[in-house]
Chains A and B, each alone.
Chain A
C-alpha cells in the first residue's frame, strides 16, 4: 500500500513537471512569436511612413568634374523624421563610401523632417558625359532613384 502511494506521488509530480514544461515551452514560443509580430508590424509601418524623393533637375546636375563632386538634393516627403547620417548613395550601382558623403540640411532646418531637403555632396565621384543613375537609400530600407545626364 505505501508502495502504491509513493508511485502515485511520483507519477503526480512527474505529470506536473511535464505539464509545466509543456506550458513553459508553449508560452515562450508564443511570446517570442508575438514580439516578432509586433516588431515586424512596426517595421512595415515605419516603411510606409518613410518616403523620400531626389528633387535634382536631371538635365542640370550640379556635378563638378574638377573636384569630382556630385550634389544630390533629397526631400523627405514621408511622415517621419529621418537621420541624415545613415543615408547611403549608389551612383551607377557603385556604393559611395560614407566618408565620401557630406550631408547638409537646407533652409536652416535642424532635423530632416517632412518637407525638408537634404543636400548630399558625393565626393570622389567620377562621371563621364552621358546617362547615369543615382540611388539614395534612407532608414527603414526605403530608397529613391534618379536617372540623370551629365
Chain B
C-alpha cells in the first residue's frame, strides 16, 4: 500500500515538474520566435525599401560661397531630407548644410518625383567630386560644375 502511495506521489511530483518545465520551454520558444520574426520582418522591409530607392543628382553648381545641389527622387520610396548626406571630395558636409528644400518648401519628407535642393556652405571648385547618400545608404556620384 505504502509502496503504491510512494510511486503515485513521486509520479505526481515529477509530472508537475515536467509540466512546468515544458510550459516554460514553450513560452521561451514562443518569445524567441516572436523576436526573430520581428527582426526578419524589419530586415526584409529595409531591403525592399533600399531596392525601391532611386535618385539622381541633377546638378551641383557653385553658388556664391558654396554649392547648390539638386537631386530628384526617381524611386518609389519616400525618403527623409535629414537622412541625406553629402560629401565633397571625400569630406562629409552634413554640418555645412545651410538650407534644404523640397520643391521649394522646407520639409523633411522627400517623396517620389520631388526635387530636393541642398545648399552647402563650403569651398568648392569646378570638377570637385560629389557623393550623395540617402538615409538607407543608396549612393549617387556627381561633379561640381
**Closest partner residue, chain B, to A56 (CB atom):** B90
- Contact with A8, one of B2, B7, B20 (Cβ below 8 angstroms): B2
Which residues of A are found within 8 Å of B109, using beta-carbon distances? none
Which residues of A are found within 8 Å of B135, using beta-carbon distances? 75, 77, 114-115
* A22 in contact (CB, < 8 A): yes
The binding surface of chain A is classed by DSSP as helix
**Closest partner residue, chain A, to B24 (CB atom):** A34
Choose the segment among A36-44, A84-92, A95-103, A130-138 that binds chain B (4+ C-beta atoms closer than 8 Å): A36-44
With A and B bound together, what is the CA distance between A137 and B21 in angstroms?
38
* A23 in contact (CB, < 8 A): yes
- Contact with B95, one of A44, A56, A107 (Cβ below 8 angstroms): A107
**Given A12-B5, A30-B21, A51-B46 in contact, is the A38-B85 Cβ separation under 8 Å?**
no
With A and B bound together, what is the CA distance between A15 and B24 in angstroms?
26
Q: Which A32-77 residues have C-beta < 8 A from chain B?
A: 33-35, 37-38, 40-42, 44-49, 51, 53, 55-57, 59-62, 71, 73, 75, 77
- How many B residues face the partner with a CB closer than 8 A? 52
- Whether the Cβ atoms of A77 and B14 lie closer than 8 Å is no
**Closest partner residue, chain A, to B22 (CB atom):** A30
* A9 in contact (CB, < 8 A): yes
Residue of A11, A18, A20, A77 contacting most chain B CB atoms (<10 Å): A77
- Whether the Cβ atoms of B35 and A119 lie closer than 8 Å is no
* B52 in contact (CB, < 8 A): no
- How many A residues face the partner with a CB closer than 8 A? 53
**Given A35-B28, A55-B133 in contact, is the A18-B92 Cβ separation under 8 Å?**
no
Which residues of B are found within 8 Å of A40, using beta-carbon distances? 32
Q: Which B77-120 residues have C-beta < 8 A from chain A?
A: 80, 82-83, 85, 87, 89-92, 94-95, 97
Chain B residues proximal to chain A, CB less than 8 Å: 2-3, 5-7, 9-11, 13-14, 16-18, 20-22, 24-25, 27-29, 31-33, 35-36, 38-40, 42-43, 46, 80, 82-83, 85, 87, 89-92, 94-95, 97, 129, 131, 133, 135-137, 139, 141
User: Could you pull out 24 A-B pairs where Cβ atoms are within 8 angstroms?
Assistant: A11-B3, A11-B6, A12-B5, A12-B6, A16-B9, A23-B13, A23-B14, A30-B20, A31-B21, A34-B24, A41-B33, A41-B35, A41-B36, A49-B42, A55-B87, A55-B137, A60-B89, A61-B90, A73-B85, A73-B92, A75-B135, A77-B135, A115-B80, A115-B135
